[in-house]
A and B are shown apart, each in its own frame.
Chain A
């Protein structure tokens, strides 16, 4: 069992939970389990093409999965997945 930390604004789409326990062999499977249990989360995390939205980063513990094996990154019991947005800008 792994844990996904839900950002505050998305908790309304996750039954009000700040964390959701999931099972899966990879981060992608865990995210699929999350959005299957809470379908309203899907449009917040994925675009119409089924890819993670451009501003969505996913961390497995302290590592950005983009620098691991992306959604195929293996995971196991006790791991924590965080959803972290990209934020930038300027005048």
Chain B
């Protein structure tokens, strides 16, 4: 089970809605399976960003350094699916890393609709969904 605290959640939803109709991406920091801070990062995919995202490794490195400095860990990665459900797609799976939780936010017509969290395996063949708790306001 992954729990996202309100301060982090607000950053994630705001970033996902602001980048609509493109996909957004970011890094979730915290401890254990609790996300206390979210970092929006630039989608560096070179092409149509309506249905693709890519995180620059240097941005992940910077997030890891920030986490270590503040006694936190990288807990997971988030990205959005504009006008699409919160599922883990074939493209997500083929470009995943088995080390983190992957949260997908569904943004419909510019507004947050739903979210899911997934745990891809090392072979990039499956990503079971895990329970996701986020603030319901």
B89 CB to nearest A CB, Å = 5
Are B57 and A89 in touch, CB under 8 angstroms? no
Chain A residues contacting B61 (CB-CB under 8 Å) are 59, 62, 82, 84
Closest to A53 in B: B122
Are A5 and B68 in touch, CB under 8 angstroms? yes
B22 CB to nearest A CB, Å = 10
Q: With A8-B74, A85-B99 given, is the CB distance from A90 to B60 under 8 Å?
A: no
Q: With A8-B73, A10-B99, A86-B97 given, is the CB distance from A57 to B81 under 8 Å?
A: no
Are A91 and B60 in touch, CB under 8 angstroms? no
The total of chain A residues at the interface (CB under 8 A) is 23
Complex CA–CA separation, A78 to B92 (angstroms): 37
Are B74 and A90 in touch, CB under 8 angstroms? no
Q: With A8-B73, A18-B68, A82-B64 given, is the CB distance from A88 to B45 under 8 Å?
A: yes
Asked if B112 lies at the interface with its beta carbon under 8 angstroms from chain A, I say no
Are B100 and A9 in touch, CB under 8 angstroms? yes
Chain B residues contacting A55 (CB-CB under 8 Å) are 95-97
Are A87 and B74 in touch, CB under 8 angstroms? no
Complex CA–CA separation, A55 to B94 (angstroms): 10
Complex CA–CA separation, A86 to B58 (angstroms): 10
- A40-71 contact mask (Cβ, 8 Å, vs B): 1 or 0: 00011000000001010101001010000000
Are A89 and B60 in touch, CB under 8 angstroms? no
Sample of 15 more A-B contacts, CB < 8 Å, known A5-B68, A90-B23, A91-B91: A7-B64, A8-B75, A44-B99, A59-B57, A82-B61, A84-B61, A85-B60, A85-B97, A87-B55, A87-B95, A87-B97, A88-B52, A89-B92, A90-B52, A91-B23
